[in-house]
A = this chain, B = another copy of it.
Amino acid sequence: MKYVFGIDVGGTTVKIGLFSQDGTMIRKWEIFTNKEDDGKHIIEEIHKSIVDEGINLDDVLGYGFGVPGPVVNNHIIQCVNLGWKYYDLVGEFSRLVSNDNIVVQNDANVAALGESFKGAAAGKEDIVMITLGTGVGGGIISNSSPVEGAFGGGGEIGHMMVRKSNGRKCNCGSTGCLETIASATGIKKEYVEMAKELNLEAPLNKTGRVSAKAVFKAAKNGDKLSIAVIDRVSYYLAYACHVISVITNPEVIVIGGGVSKAGDFLLSRIQKEFKEYKFIAAQTTQIKLAKLGNDAGMYGAASLIING
């Protein structure tokens, strides 16, 4: 039997997935990301971990990687969180495992590939994934390939400016980016600010525990302010989906990341707002919740090898 590895390198842990040739996940495990010495030990430790698991490297067809930074034509431009700059992961890892079939791709793109491989958009060639976590990320798949962009900046949906006036400052230097509203941090800030703006009672402020999760919980329990916050977040997410749908015309937009655990409560609101945009080609785009959770990156990384 031949195997494929799908490896998702994150800032905290590396997720390693062992797959069969047809894309079935056989086993998965994690190791800590060793960021010492500009991240030069990371791939040695991945290699060691695979050998320690008792896998015969002669049976491995190839290794797919997802990394947290821009990638163009199988070259990593930069992964700030790992200390990698123009890092030759492909060449270095190839020598360690004596295998030339190494493919690397941006982590948001591999998550999108994962959902189009075995997840919410399985079998679809044109999809977009929006990941709502601490920040807002995105991956665009066109004709089964990631849209990397000229400088590896394709799919940076979080930095779409959506609020033209009174936008909050974003880490990127701009104001009013989608990330300032629809990320976990954005939802929290929206709650605090909307309480003043709408002059509504803000029960969570008193608990000292305002978080995206708490806002969703309160909204589901009928808290007026929290519902107003989620409605606004949904409005802007629907706008982003509209813009994406007229630009790359995906068959499915997949909403993932921690914030998407709010489930149908969030999804149904985004879908309702999205229907307000009448352009026909865009209306054919479906919006769905992600299915693979934290495994999406491993599936997508494996698909880089399996689907060539």
Contacts and interface: CB of A to CB of B under 8 A. Distances in A.
B281 A151 contact: yes
Given A160-B243, A247-B244, A248-B147, A172 B280 contact: yes
Interface in A250-282: 250-251, 277-282
How many chain A residues sit at the interface, stated as a range, is 35 or more
Interface in A157-194: 157, 159-161, 170, 172-174, 177
Given A243-B160, A279-B159, A251 B172 contact: no
Given A142-B147, A150-B125, A248-B248, A279 B243 contact: no
A149 B126 contact: yes
A156 interface: yes
Contacts of A278: 172-174
A246 interface: yes
Question: Across chains A and B, which 9 residue pairs bring their CB atoms closest together, nearest first?
Answer: A149-B249, A153-B281, A173-B278, A150-B251, A153-B249, A126-B150, A159-B279, A174-B278, A172-B279
Given A173-B280, A243-B243, 11 more contacts: A142-B148, A154-B248, A156-B279, A157-B246, A160-B243, A161-B242, A172-B279, A173-B279, A174-B279, A243-B247, A247-B248
Interface of A: 70, 124-126, 138, 140, 142-143, 145, 147-157, 159-161, 170, 172-174, 177, 239, 242-251, 277-282, 284-285
